[in-house]
Amino acid sequence: MPRGGGALTRGSIGAASAAATQDEVMNVRVLVVYASRHGATQGIAERIAARLGQGGVEVTVKSTAQAGDLAGYDAFVIGSAAYAFHWLKEATAFVRRNRSLLASRPNWLFSSGPLGTETIDAQGRDVRAEAEPREFGEFREAIHPRDQRIFFGAYDPTSKPIGFIERFTRMMPAARAAMPAGDFRDWDEIEAWAARIAGELTLVPAGSR
């Protein structure tokens, strides 16, 4: 039976929930897939995967480059670091390339983005909302994520810069001032989100792939 619109189950949620046995829950296969330049987003992906694993689902965590064939997974959590208001190219390409399959299975998106401890900026705007990558509008239309999150990220200005934007930013005093150094990942928030996903995954019938 085809699965449409990122629906949580092939049938109704209630029917699937009632019908799901413990074995079926154990066999739900989830791929947590990420794109990361300096490791902060990889760390978030691994923490989400670890939390999902505690919920009894079968979890694989891979970079977008290593993801391989997606046909064997029932659900996806997809994340990338944001640079200059955009997801990393390989993450955007991953979603576009696999658009049809992702749209047909439950999926969740996260972005590893803003730095610092302020959740409201000097203009009174929500820092997380402002950090939403430009691609998310397209992705909401394309693959119907069940939820999306912007997580605070991490930045080590002593790490080797990768790419033009990073090198350029390091040279600009104003840009440097706007990018506080440190690890601002909120593990409680990340784990709470993963726990919510774990709860929803118990409603996904195993082998729906």
Contacting residues toward ligand FMN, per CB under 6 A: 36-42, 81-85, 112-115, 131, 153-155, 165-166, 169, 179
Which residue, 3 or 136, is less far from ligand FMN as judged by CB?
Answer: 136
Could you tell me if 3 and 105 are in contact, meaning their C-beta atoms sit under 8 angstroms apart?
A: yes
Could you tell me if 47 and 190 are in contact, meaning their C-beta atoms sit under 8 angstroms apart?
A: yes
**Half-sphere exposure at residue 25, Cβ-oriented, CA atoms within 13 angstroms:** 18
Place of tokens 């709470």: 192
Of 208, 176, 202, 198, nearest to 53 by C-alpha is 198
Which residue, 150 or 198, is less far from ligand FMN as judged by CB?
Answer: 150
Q: Name 155's bridge partners.
A: 182
> What is the rounded distance in angstroms from the CA atom of residue 179 to the CA atom of residue 182?
9
Q: CB of residue 18 vs ligand FMN: minimum separation in angstroms?
A: 40
Which residue, 83 or 136, is less far from ligand FMN as judged by CB?
Answer: 83
Which residue, 114 or 145, is less far from ligand FMN as judged by CB?
Answer: 114
Q: CB of residue 39 vs ligand FMN: minimum separation in angstroms?
A: 5
Q: CB of residue 164 vs ligand FMN: minimum separation in angstroms?
A: 9
Which residue, 34 or 105, is less far from ligand FMN as judged by CB?
Answer: 34
Q: CB of residue 77 vs ligand FMN: minimum separation in angstroms?
A: 15
Which residue, 64 or 208, is less far from ligand FMN as judged by CB?
Answer: 64
Could you tell me if 205 and 17 are in contact, meaning their C-beta atoms sit under 8 angstroms apart?
A: no
Q: CB of residue 169 vs ligand FMN: minimum separation in angstroms?
A: 4
Place of tokens 């990122």: 6
Q: CB of residue 179 vs ligand FMN: minimum separation in angstroms?
A: 6
CB-closest chain residue to ligand FMN: 153
> What is the rounded distance in angstroms from the CA atom of residue 4 to the CA atom of residue 103?
7
